[in-house]
Structure 1
Amino acid sequence: MPTTPTWLRQYGAAARILIVMTVLVGLIYPLAMTGIAQLLFPSQANGSLIRNDEGEVVGSALIGQNFDGDAWFHTRPSAAGDEGYDGGSSSASNLGPNSEELLQQIEDRKAQVADREGVDEDEVPADAVTASGSGLDPHISPDYAAIQTRRVAAARGMSVEEVEKLVAEHTVGRSLGFIGEPGVNVIDLNLALEDAH
């Protein structure tokens, strides 16, 4: 009785394992995880989308946007894409701390922010002049939000106290109480400003 060659048995076993693992890891596991995520964390599973009062998607709580004009809180600079905050081009500038180009960008940004906000350059926080590692961070520091309140209040005809209250309501603490720094989600804050005015 002829026997199957060893190499053929090994290839057959490998092919069966490949098929089983492809079905398990490539189909069943992703479908199960997607189902669990949709069931337990539907907002996060769908991109943490932010909607306005009409139900239109205006952004994601996880990805920053550029806001122009005095009536809005401004985000930190972004190196993601040509115009910044391009989710498909998440990246930093890759300029090191000894880069003359980076140092010049920071000095230029510091002067622009100080001029726009009417403060001394020494009062401009670091996140106002440096991009995040991903280039997509939607948060700014409470310090950066604080120096913007007078400008936003004046542009919207609101009191500084009203704007400061909105900033405080949209300031989140450290993750788990000790990781990172407090931050203000600029998209959420600007939507709250639009609703309040």
Structure 2
Amino acid sequence: MSSVVRQHAAALRALLALTVVLGLAYPALIWLIAQLPGLQHKADGSILESGGKPVGSSLIGQLYTDADGAPLPQYFQGRPSAAGDGYDPMATSASNLGPEDIVDTPDRPSLLTTVCQRSRAIGELDGVNGGRPFCTGGGVGAVLSVIASPAPTRVISVNEPCDTTPRPFLDTYQGVRVECAEPGADYRSGRLVPIHGAITEPQVPADAVTASGSGLDSHISPAYAEIQVNRVAEARAMSPDQVRALVAAHTEGRTLGFLGEPTVNVLELNLALDGR
């Protein structure tokens, strides 16, 4: 009995000691370090304020849209987000779709079609060419199902249903007339062939049409910021050069001078525009 008591007493002492060291002393030490000059702002979440009120974190993106979800023309738009309804820190995630996801299904568009639709919408919003490689002019994935034995006998544009398109994006493929897809039909017996198209260098950059792994990106590329300059300048009655100067002021260089690429903090830039 005395041995059992000694073991329990030792366990209790260890529990108390570890509680004091790891549960109280260590968190208190980390908190004190976080309050040092230069660290406190980041430790508090890098919160930005406007008019004395917090409006967001410089490390987490947010939506700049109206009640219907349409982009507000006076604001720079951020990168797409797959986190909840957009930039939700409680639902941070990616779509988990890869480059082989190129065929639309009845319940959702493919990743390729999603990219094509986003690029087309941005092109219309910002007055640039929204076309991309492997995208049709209608904004869906340019993918054919080629049924062959061994030469092609039938070719179907799988992402262009006959009830939504008057004619496929391509007239013929290897001498065979291209058909539109019948709704609900299964064309998996054919060989899937993505068609590159004439566009080699899209004007809409990749970060404008693809969501990140976290879904919380607070920055965009300078290239994406540049195509938005004219729209924002017109909406705010500013000159494009004035807007570009603010973009340059909120452009961050490569980490340590050589890691990654330059980026633009969208929230800081939009707050600077509002403050002006």
TM-score by length of 2: 0.66
Q: Which residue of 2 aligns with 1:166?
A: 246
Q: How many residues align?
A: 191
Matched, 1:25 2:22: yes
Q: Which residue of 1 aligns with 2:90?
A: 88
Specify which of 28, 31, 35 is matched with residue 34 of structure 1: 31
Map 1:42-81; keep pairs closer than 5 Å. Answer: 42-52=40-50, 54-68=51-65, 69-81=72-84
Q: Which residue of 2 aligns with 1:108?
A: 117
> How far apart are 1:91 and its partner, in Å?
1.2
> How far apart are 1:102 and its partner, in Å?
1.5
Which range is displaced more, 25-34 or 92-101?
92-101
> How far apart are 1:8 and its partner, in Å?
4.3
1:57 partner SS: strand
Task: Tell me which protein shows more strand as a share of its residues.
Answer: 2
Instruction: Name the amino acid aligned to 1:174.
Output: R
Gap change, CA 1:97 and 1:16, over 3 Å in 2: farther
2:36 partner SS: helix
Q: Distance between the aligned counterparts of 2:64 and 2:78, measured in 1?
A: 7
Gap change, CA 1:130 and 1:24, over 3 Å in 2: same
TM-score by length of 1: 0.92
Map 1:113-192; keep pairs closer than 5 Å. Answer: 113-120=122-129, 121=131, 122-192=202-272
Q: Distance between the aligned counterparts of 2:75 and 2:266, measured in 1?
A: 9
Listed as ranges, the gaps of 5+ residues in structure 1 are: none
Q: Which residue of 1 aligns with 2:191?
A: none
1:111 partner SS: helix
For residues 67-126 of structure 1, the C-alpha deviation after alignment (integer angstroms, 9 at most, x for no partner) is 121111000101111x20112111111222222321221111111111211112311100
Which range is displaced more, 95-104 or 112-121?
95-104
Q: Distance between the aligned counterparts of 1:19 and 1:97, measured in 2?
A: 53
Listed as ranges, the gaps of 5+ residues in structure 2 are: 66-71, 103-109, 132-201
Q: Distance between the aligned counterparts of 1:180 and 1:21, measured in 2?
A: 41
> How far apart are 1:18 and its partner, in Å?
2.0
Q: Which residue of 2 aligns with 1:15?
A: 12
Task: Tell me which protein shows more helix as a share of its residues.
Answer: 1
For residues 173-196 of structure 1, the C-alpha deviation after alignment (integer angstroms, 9 at most, x for no partner) is 011111111100000000111122
Q: Distance between the aligned counterparts of 1:180 and 1:94, measured in 2?
A: 23
Q: Distance between the aligned counterparts of 1:74 and 1:106, measured in 2?
A: 16
Find the structure with the greater CA-based Rg. 2
2:99 partner SS: coil
| Percentage of pairs with the same residue | 52
1:164 partner SS: helix
Instruction: Name the amino acid aligned to 1:109.
Output: R
Q: Distance between the aligned counterparts of 1:125 and 1:35, measured in 2?
A: 43
Q: Distance between the aligned counterparts of 2:11 and 2:217, measured in 1?
A: 45
Which range is displaced more, 37-46 or 7-16?
7-16
Which range is displaced more, 136-145 or 25-34?
25-34
1:150 partner SS: helix
Q: Distance between the aligned counterparts of 2:257 and 2:243, measured in 1?
A: 25
Q: Distance between the aligned counterparts of 2:13 and 2:49, measured in 1?
A: 47
> How far apart are 1:22 and its partner, in Å?
1.7
Which range is displaced more, 97-106 or 180-189?
97-106
